[in-house]
Amino acid sequence: MAFFVLVAGAMIVAWMSDMITKYGIGGSGVLILPGMIDSIPRVLLYGQGLGSGAVFFTPKLWLVLVISVAVVVIFTIFINKAELRIPLQRPFGQNDFSESYLPIRVLAAGSMPFMFTTTVFMIPSYIGSFVPEGEFNRFVQNYVAFDNPVGILIYCSIIVFLGYVFSFMNFQTERLTKNLKKSGDYIFNVVPGTATRHYLNQRLFHLSTVANIFFLIIVGTPLIVGLYLPEITNFAFVFANILILITIIDTTMDQFKTMYLRMHYDLL
């Protein structure tokens, strides 16, 4: 019964997301936004479990939190807007509009890695609960947590892996290469087809590496500091939620601007 209720709920949420996309703005992000905002105080005070516990805030800790959140917000907004613009050539265009560019965002993966990392990280704990005895369960209890270097390394490795996976899933270089070839556009000094796909894959990999370094800085740093100052550990989860919020809000604002311009566009 629980399985069918969860599946039915997931289908209803998917349908609501489709309706929002069709008739409004925001898509599934609008449905995620309230839960993300509501969860920030909880993860700040109590963490995610697995070694991250409750925190008693002092004025000095509040000051550190405010300053660090401001820095994370500023840098997240900047890197969320950053993109690599690859010039495109149009062979039959002989005017000022014959040149355009192909943008590749630094955060091609968006906030998707953070939406799944904690869930993936906790899967061994769920499996270990069904196997109370054995080496696997002892490994989970000793290392799959946020209060030891091995657990932090595993958590950061999952972030990096998902960062690359979602970057290539979102950008889809193969489909983009086919569209460029059909339209006749090409990248200067790059042969259309397979060579273009390899070129885009290389550029996307480099940008994803930059994004993953940024992810590791804002999440890995509080976790490492938390090994010595446990009250800092929960900052990592707050920063992750802030990144998710910023990407969702930014996408929603872009959709709103597009819809506004389309409704108020006048040719003459």
The pLDDT of residue 176 is above 80: yes
pLDDT of residue 206: 93
Per the domain annotation, does 44 fall within a domain? yes
Residue 267 lies in a domain: no
Q: What value does the mean pLDDT take over residues 113-134?
A: 80
Containing structural domain, residue 81: 2-20+27-251
Number of compact structural domains in the chain = 1
Residue 23 identity (one-letter amino acid): Y
- Give a yes or no: residue 182 inside a domain: yes
Q: Is pLDDT at 212 greater than 90 in this prediction?
A: yes
Cα 202 to the center of its chain, rounded Å:
20
Tell me whether residue 259 is in a domain.
no
User: Does residue 29 contact residue 19 with C-beta atoms inside 8 Å?
Assistant: no
pLDDT-derived band of residue 40, with 50, 70 and 90 as boundaries? confident
pLDDT score, position 94: 52
Q: Considering the entire predicted model, what is its pTM?
A: 0.82
Q: Say if 124 falls within a structural domain.
A: yes
pLDDT value at 30 more than 60: yes
* Cα(147)–Cα(251) distance, integer angstroms: 34
DSSP for 69-91 reads HHHHHHHHHHHHH-EEEEEEE-T
The per-residue pLDDT for 98 is: 53
What is the residue-averaged pLDDT of the chain? 83
In-domain check, residue 243: yes
Q: What is the CATH number of the domain that holds 141?
A: 1.10.3370.10
In angstroms, the CA 29 to CA 249 distance is 8
Does residue 265 lie within any of the structural domains? no
pLDDT band at 226 (very low <50, low <70, confident <90, very high): confident
Residue 268, pLDDT > 70, answer no
Find the DSSP H helices in the chain: 2-23, 28-46, 59-81, 112-130, 135-143, 149-171, 173-183, 194-226, 233-263
58-69: average pLDDT: 86
The most confident of the ranges 24-28, 66-70, 98-102, 121-125 is 66-70
Give the pLDDT mean for 14-19. Answer: 87
Question: Does residue 105 belong to any structural domain of this protein?
Answer: yes
Write down the pLDDT at residue 211: 92
